[in-house]
Structures are given as C-alpha cells and as structure tokens.
C-alpha cells in the first residue's frame, strides 16, 4: 500500500497549516470560556472577552477597506458610535414615544434596533465615502478624520441624550423569547455568533470577483480602471458595507456596556481599531480578530500595572511593525514547511 504521507498532488493528505490550528484553537477556547469562567468563579472574563469580540467585529469590518482596499479610514469609529446611539436612543424613548414625526416608535427590540443601526451607519458611510473616495492618500485620511470629528461634536451637542456625559441604556435589546441579552453568557454567545457569521460573509465577499477587484485597485488603481472596472463604485460599496458592519458592532457595544457616549466615535478610538488591524495582520480577516484580542487583553493587563500602559505597549507595537510586517497572524506559515 502507498504511504499517504509521501504522496504529492491534489490527492495527498496534508497536515493542517499553523494558521488553521490557531483558528481551531481560538474557536475552542472561545466556546469553552463561559463554562470555564463560571467554574473558576470569574465571570469578569466573560464580560472582558465579550468586549473583545465586539471590537474584533469592528476591526474586521475596517480590514475590508484597509487590508483589502488599501484605504486608511481615520473615522471608522464614527459608524460604530452611530450604531450604538441608534440602539440607545430607541431604548431611551421606549414604546410609549415616537421619533421622526411619529414614523418610528421607540423600542428595545433588537429585531428593529440592530438592522436600523446598520442602516443608519451604512447610509452615513455611503455619504462620507461618496465624498472622501474622490481623494487619495493623506487627503482621504484627513477628510474621514474631519467627518468623524463633526459627528463627535454633533452628538456632544445633543443635550437631550446626555451630551458629553453620554446616555445610559434604558434596556438591553430583546429578541422575543429566543434569547435574553441581560444574561452575560447569552450576550457572549450572541456576540460570538455575530462575529462568526460576519466573518463568513466577509470571507465570501473577499474571495469573490468583488474582492479581487478591490485588491487589484489597492495594488494598481489606474490599471484596474483602464481594463474597465469602475473602481470608485467598488470602493464605495465596500466602504458602505464596512460602515454597516461597524454599526452592528456599535449596537453590540451599546448592549455590552449598557451605555453610549460620544467618546465611542472619537478619532482616538478609530486609531485604536487601526492598530488592532495592523497588529493582527491586514488582509486576512482572522488577523484583526487576533489583533483585537492582543490589544485589549494587553491593555487590561498593563493598565493594572501602571496608568501609563501606552508607554509599554508602544515599543511592543513598534517591534511588530518592524519585524512582523504582516502582523502577528502573518508570522504563521500558510502551509507546513513553508
């Protein structure tokens, strides 16, 4: 009989790559975390990793336009904040009140609030992208930053919803009798399920013709335009989709923190999400998830030692940028032996 370990070609049995092992290990750890935390009497870890999952979703959405599209958006947290405020404002008014001249009732239903958060964030991303994508390089960065700061000060001025102090969530989102987000473990699994579902969606998008065009425009925009692809429209669709997913992350964040604030959309928050993508690895979808875990867990550990944790984290980030240009996830080989 033939030893399959010596076979070559498509029929050969190949050992799983290091990247696949990491993904499988991460999935097992995430699924096992809630029962393990309860057994250890440390429910805090469930809340901590829930927050990480939310920011991993935001980082993954940014990776669609940064890692695959080559667009450095310094206002991505704006879409996240808008999604959070949609959930917060709807819950604040309750079912007895209406918004938009009676067209929209206040509600804590996730069936209404979460899609509406994605819709509002997506429409804002469409408007911002329509203007910003007509520029390139530093000009694109500065325009997205300017829009983010305008949104930030707009919500600061909304005194009816707490202004600079923010707004406490009147009630967490409900999904009929299917699941209760009031329970930390239930929310954790909902956040994990959303992250996996969006990850599969983005994997399908980035491996489609749409994703190939997006990557081609990143490498050589002029060549893609010359062979007939409307680069602007492709980028605008990607920018809108990324904004809508960030709005969904904002809806999750509002429920996780029981609070919404203009600080969620400050430009420094956008910078943190960019760091998560770079730290984990751009253009890999899994990389931003790894980056979110490393960034937020290091923040939690280092801030427990010193309030100047950024002074310690900064050199670590520099080492990654210098010696791991594809991020931490990029250090792993695609296949064994390569």
Distance CA 16, CA 23 (A): 11
Rounded to 5°, angle at Cα 58 from 320 and 43: 90
Phi, psi for residue 260 in degrees, rounded to 5 = -130, 145
283 with 63: CB under 8 angstroms? yes
Domain residue spans of the chain: 46-266
The tens place of each residue's pLDDT in the chain, 338 residues long, gives: 334 444 444 434 444 567 777 777 777 888 888 888 777 777 888 889 999 999 999 999 999 999 999 999 999 999 999 999 999 988 887 655 556 544 555 577 788 889 999 999 999 999 999 999 999 889 999 999 999 999 999 999 988 888 888 888 877 888 877 777 888 888 999 999 999 999 999 999 999 999 999 999 998 888 998 888 999 999 999 999 999 999 999 999 999 988 999 999 999 999 999 999 999 989 888 899 999 999 999 888 888 887 888 888 888 888 888 887 788 887 776 654 44
Distance CA 245, CA 151 (A): 18
SS in 3 state form for 81-100? HHHHHHHHHHHHHCCCCEEC
Q: Is 232 helix (H, G, I), strand (E, B) or coil?
A: helix
Distance CA 64, CA 264 (A): 21
pTM: 0.88
Residue 71: closest CA among 201, 210, 195, 217: 217
Question: Other CB atoms closer than 10 Å to residue 160's CB: what's the count?
Answer: 9
CA 306, 308, 311, 317 torsion-angle sign: positive
- Which tokens is 52 given? 């990480």
171 burial via Cβ count (<10 Å: 0-12, 13-18, 19+): middle
Provide the β-strand partners of residue 76: none
- Which tokens is 273 given? 């999400």
287 with 330: CB under 8 angstroms? yes
162 HSE (CA, 13 A, CB side) = 16
Distance CA 5, CA 237 (A): 45
Residue 222: closest CA among 302, 136, 153, 141: 136
């Amino acid at each position: 009989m033939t030893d399959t370990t010596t076979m070559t070609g498509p029929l050969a049995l190949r050992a799983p790559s290091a990247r696949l092992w990491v993904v499988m290990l991460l999935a097992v750890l995430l699924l096992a975390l809630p029962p393990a935390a309860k057994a250890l009497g440390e429910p805090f870890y469930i809340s901590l990793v829930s927050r990480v999952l939310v920011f991993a979703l935001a980082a993954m959405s940014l990776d669609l336009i940064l890692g695959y599209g080559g667009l450095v958006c310094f206002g991505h947290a704006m879409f996240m904040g808008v999604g959070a405020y949609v959930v917060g404002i709807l819950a604040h008014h309750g079912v007895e009140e209406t918004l938009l001249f009676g067209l929209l009732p206040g509600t804590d239903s996730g069936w209404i609030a979460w899609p509406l958060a994605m819709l509002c964030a997506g429409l804002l991303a469409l408007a911002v992208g329509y203007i910003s994508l007509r520029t390139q390089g530093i000009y694109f960065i500065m325009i997205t930053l300017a829009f983010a700061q305008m949104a930030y000060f707009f919500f600061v001025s909304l005194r009816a919803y707490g202004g600079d102090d923010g707004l406490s969530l009147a009630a967490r989102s409900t999904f009929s009798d299917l699941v209760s987000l009031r329970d930390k473990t239930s929310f954790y699994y909902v956040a994990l399920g959303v992250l996996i579902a969006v990850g599969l969606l983005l994997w399908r998008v980035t491996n489609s013709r749409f994703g190939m065009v997006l990557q081609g425009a990143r490498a050589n925009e002029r060549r893609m335009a010359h062979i007939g692809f409307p680069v602007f429209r492709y980028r605008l669709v990607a920018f809108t989709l990324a904004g809508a997913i960030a709005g969904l992350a904002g809806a999750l964040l509002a429920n996780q923190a029981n609070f919404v604030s203009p600080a969620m959309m400050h430009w420094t928050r956008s910078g943190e999400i960019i760091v998560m993508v770079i730290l984990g690895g751009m253009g890999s979808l899994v990389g931003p998830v790894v980056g979110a875990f490393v960034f937020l867990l290091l923040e939690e550990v280092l801030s427990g030692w010193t309030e100047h944790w950024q002074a310690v984290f900064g050199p670590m980030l520099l080492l990654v940028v210098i010696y791991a240009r594809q991020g931490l996830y990029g250090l792993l080989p695609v296949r064994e032996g390569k």
